[in-house]
């Protein structure tokens, strides 16, 4: 079973430009989560897509947006780039685990990340 | 609000010895899940271990085990027989509302 893949591995943009990051979830799985890991700010939840719909978003401005395609791959778009957008962007895909008691929780498995540098 | 706190920015351990990384959290939920992830220099986030809050038994995965104290909201990670490959940033996290909330991380250095 293929893992989570992300492209590109590195991206260099200048302030004011737009960046597009891509993620493919674990084969056959419908959910994609995006996280930002910025220096000094730790890992922060950005967006959650499932079945083509945005289900939840973190405390980020609207210039962070995305979409999910019918094949469940996802794009994260960052418009009007600012210097502080420089970060590692991680995509995660959940694998469910179930037992006789739980409602069916999931463990998130991460891709290798895209390192965005804004100059 | 759900918060996760890792109070140790950095820890060191001698190869083959045991080290414990601390984590505390705050939640009003009764059913939740806790995780430890490892991020080596490659930056790939790797799941180390998972604990379901309703289970009293502490989770173990080979050399990795947790000490889960639900009343104290504490979730520490013990690494036994430390190896050079264990050197990484370790993140404690909690699932909340279908997303993960992370602590600030602990850098673990392993000395040979």
pLDDT digits (tens, 9 = 90+) for A95-111: 755 443 344 457 889 99
Candidates A38, A105, A111, A116, partner chain B, best to mutate (most B CBs within 10 A): A105
Instruction: Please give the pLDDT value at position B104.
Output: 95
User: Is residue B24's pLDDT more than 60?
Assistant: yes
Helix (H) or strand (E) holding A11, with range, is strand A10-13
Distance CA B65, CA B68 (A): 9
Angle, alpha carbons B17-B35-A113 (nearest 5°):
100
Q: Which of B81, B18, B25 is nearest to B53 (CA)?
A: B25
Instruction: Please give the pLDDT value at position B29.
Output: 85
Quick: pLDDT tens for A36-73: 999 878 899 999 999 999 999 999 999 999 999 999 99
Question: What are the Cα distances from residue B74, in Å, to A54, B1, B109?
Answer: 33, 17, 23
Instruction: Please give the pLDDT value at position A101.
Output: 35
Q: Which of B106, B67, B110 is nearest to B86 (CA)?
A: B110
Residue ranges of chain A whose CB lies within 8 Å of a chain B CB = 33, 35, 42-45, 48, 55-56, 58, 88, 90, 92, 97, 99, 101-103, 105-110, 112-113, 115
The pair of three-digit structure tokens given for residue A56, joined into one six-digit string: 């939840």
Determine the residue of chain B that is closest to A46 in CA distance. Answer: B99
User: Is residue B56's pLDDT more than 80?
Assistant: yes
Distance CA A100, CA B107 (A): 36
Q: What is the DSSP letter of A72?
A: S
User: Is residue B37's pLDDT more than 60?
Assistant: yes
Is the model more confident about A14 or about A100?
A: A14
Instruction: Please give the pLDDT value at position A98.
Output: 43
User: Is residue A18's pLDDT more than 80?
Assistant: yes
The pair of three-digit structure tokens given for residue B2, joined into one six-digit string: 């759900």
Is the model more confident about B1 or about A16?
A: A16
User: Is residue B30's pLDDT more than 90?
Assistant: no
CB A49 within 8 A of CB A105: no
Task: Report the mean per-residue pLDDT for chain A.
Answer: 89
Dihedral of the alpha carbons of B98, A11, A4, B38, in degrees to the nearest 10: -70
The pair of three-digit structure tokens given for residue B102, joined into one six-digit string: 């992370």
Quick: pLDDT tens for A74-93: 999 999 999 999 999 999 99
User: Is residue B108's pLDDT more than 90?
Assistant: yes
Burial of B11 (0-12, 13-18, 19+ CB in 10 A): middle
Q: Which of A117, A93, A90 is nearest to A107 (CA)?
A: A93
Quick: pLDDT tens for B59-101: 999 999 999 999 999 999 999 999 999 999 999 999 877 789 9
Q: Note whether B95 contacts A105, CB cutoff 8 Å.
A: yes
pLDDT band at A1 (very low <50, low <70, confident <90, very high): low
Helix (H) or strand (E) holding B106, with range, is strand B106-111
CB B92 within 8 A of CB B6: yes
Helix (H) or strand (E) holding B65, with range, is strand B64-69
């Amino acid at each position: 079973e293929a893992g989570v893949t992300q492209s590109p591995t590195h991206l260099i943009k200048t302030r004011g430009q737009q960046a597009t990051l891509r993620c493919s979830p674990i084969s056959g799985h419908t959910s994609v989560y995006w996280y930002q890991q910025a220096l000094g700010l730790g890992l922060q939840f950005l967006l959650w897509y499932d079945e083509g719909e945005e289900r939840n978003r973190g405390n980020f401005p609207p210039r962070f947006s995305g979409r999910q395609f019918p094949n469940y791959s996802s794009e994260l778009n960052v418009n009007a780039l600012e210097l502080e957008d420089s970060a590692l962007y991680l995509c995660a895909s959940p694998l469910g685990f179930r037992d006789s008691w739980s409602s069916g929780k999931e463990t998130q498995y991460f891709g290798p990340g895209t390192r965005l540098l804004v100059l | 609000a759900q918060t996760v706190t890792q109070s140790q920015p950095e820890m060191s351990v001698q190869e083959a010895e045991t080290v414990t990384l601390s984590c505390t959290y705050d939640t009003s939920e009764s059913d939740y899940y806790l995780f430890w992830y490892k991020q080596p220099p490659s930056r790939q986030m790797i799941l180390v271990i998972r604990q379901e809050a309703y289970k009293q038994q502490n989770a173990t995965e080979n050399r990795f085990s947790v000490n889960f104290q639900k009343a104290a909201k504490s979730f520490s990670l013990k690494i036994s027989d430390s190896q050079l490959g264990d050197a990484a940033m370790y993140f404690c996290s909690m699932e909340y509302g279908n997303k993960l909330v992370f602590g600030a991380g602990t850098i673990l250095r392993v000395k040979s």
